[in-house]
A and B are shown apart, each in its own frame.
Chain A
């Protein structure tokens, strides 16, 4: 399942046998049951429905899980650096500086009380220690790089004053300002319009390509990510059911993936009852 040739340089992200469980009122529930992923500077899509564990898998890289979670893995490394043994402070340094995460609701990542410009400048000075004099100019450049027209005006706007798509671009600019090596987009476009969605994904893909970053696209939308990924991992109940090459969705073998593909409504067979996904207990093994 690994397309990275075994050479001397460590892969960008190396996860082996990741297991995450939560302590709840009803006992221990396992959310992730043995996920392995090795990736370089490529685009990997992780697709699954809610409850599949796809978001939790990558939030564990940052230490963003609640205290009731127990994270265990044989290996969890970022460019050779072990992530499991880091304490909170070191994990915070990694978060943002080396791995960036774009989330569904940009307003969550943006401080509502500060203008976009000010937050961007703060990010630049915090992560890359850009001196105050150059920070403003660099911030404007960043906004232009994410294709925001009239960046100087947007610098002075508050997050609630811009549209969802523009807020997402601003969020992306903030994340890119730290120049991370790996970008994780967790349902980054689910709250956006169909057309804006593609524009944002085009933008993410462009930036990732220009900067030589790795990209993990987490989504529940199979069709959407198929166009933007080199590899697609299909997750269900905390496990990877199948791995596909980008653009080759129709070659899916696993019944879960085929079931997901088949139950989508389509213009080709309108009106007929959609096949319902029958979940097999055997998939949980």
Chain B
């Protein structure tokens, strides 16, 4: 056990409450460095809630979360926060409308006291293929695809071990989605970035992730690798319906 590198992210029996309801009912998985897990399911199945608990936004959870072998609790230190970052579904809502892009990208650098802030900001913009001209614009002046790139750049600035993506392209046009998905693929290849991608669109998930988990009612019903999807028989009828609906397109 000690000889093997700990996985980038390991979740064990995660249970998340929202108010009095139990939204996630005991989920376990692990993602190696450079690996990718996709979670697919209908809205309300709890997939986004898993990400939010890992990211520290939802705090009513029990179970075990480990990043690179280090356990993470409900209370997060700054170092804990650096270890994972999240990209949200609606890029317009995820950016403070009164901050320039420069301020938005500078904030994580200030909070984590990282040096060479200007250089890092410029490099972040280049990494996500954004023109430098947008640096001092406001989010409202950018297109949807550009905003999502800013969100991705912001997440990558602190060099997280795990990237959590919650429906990252659902709010985008299909042509813009293709560009953003290509960007994410490239980042994964170049940086060996581990990520967890949540979506209701099985096509997107299958495109991006090696491992795919189907989630129904707060639990994983099936986990399979993407080349086994065609013709697979799943345990839960709802998951099967999702798979069949996607395959008939």
Contact = CB atoms under 8 A, between A and B. Distances in A.
In the complex they form, do A and B come into direct contact, defined as C-beta atoms under 8 angstroms apart?
yes
B241 to A, nearest CB: 7
Contacts of A198: 245
* Interface residues on chain B, size class: 20 to 34
Interface string A255-285: 0000110011111001101111100000000
B178 to A, nearest CB: 4
B204 interface: yes
Interface of B: 42-43, 144, 173-179, 181-182, 185, 200-204, 206-208, 226-227, 229-230, 241-242, 245-247, 249
Given A266-B207, A267-B229, A276 B42 contact: no
B207 A263 contact: no
A23 interface: no
Given A193-B42, A271-B226, 17 more contacts: A49-B174, A50-B144, A194-B42, A194-B242, A195-B245, A220-B174, A263-B175, A264-B203, A265-B181, A265-B208, A267-B202, A273-B182, A274-B178, A274-B181, A274-B182, A275-B178, A276-B182
A268 B47 CA distance: 25
A265 B200 contact: no
B246 A267 contact: yes
Nearest to A264: B174
Contacts of B177: 263, 265
Q: Which 3 A-B pairs have the closest CB atoms?
A: A265-B207, A263-B178, A277-B175
A194 B243 CA distance: 11
Contacts of A111: none
18 contacts: A49-B173, A49-B176, A50-B173, A193-B42, A193-B43, A194-B42, A194-B200, A195-B42, A264-B174, A264-B203, A265-B206, A267-B206, A267-B230, A267-B247, A270-B226, A274-B182, A275-B178, A276-B179
A224 B246 CA distance: 11
Contact of A277 (B178, B245, B249): B178
Contacts of B245: 194-195, 198
Nearest to B44: A193
Given A274-B178, A275-B178, A265 B204 contact: yes
Contacts of A260: 174-175
A276 B178 contact: yes
A223 interface: yes
B217 to A, nearest CB: 14
Contacts of A263: 174-175, 177-178
Contacts of B226: 267, 270-271
Nearest to B230: A267
A55 B200 CA distance: 25
B178 A265 contact: yes
Nearest to B173: A49
B185 A223 contact: no
A49 to B, nearest CB: 4
Contacts of B201: 194
A273 B241 contact: no
A237 B43 CA distance: 33
A173 B243 CA distance: 31
B24 to A, nearest CB: 18
A193 B200 contact: yes
A270 B242 CA distance: 18
B42 A274 contact: no
A51 B245 CA distance: 29
Given A223-B249, A263-B175, A263-B178, A274 B207 contact: yes
Interface string A218-262: 001111000000000000000000000000000000000001100
Contacts of A195: 42, 241-242, 245
A238 to B, nearest CB: 16
Contacts of B181: 265, 274
A49 B229 contact: no
Contacts of A266: 203, 207, 249
Contacts of A264: 174, 178, 203
A267 B203 contact: yes
Contacts of A50: 144, 173
A276 B206 contact: no
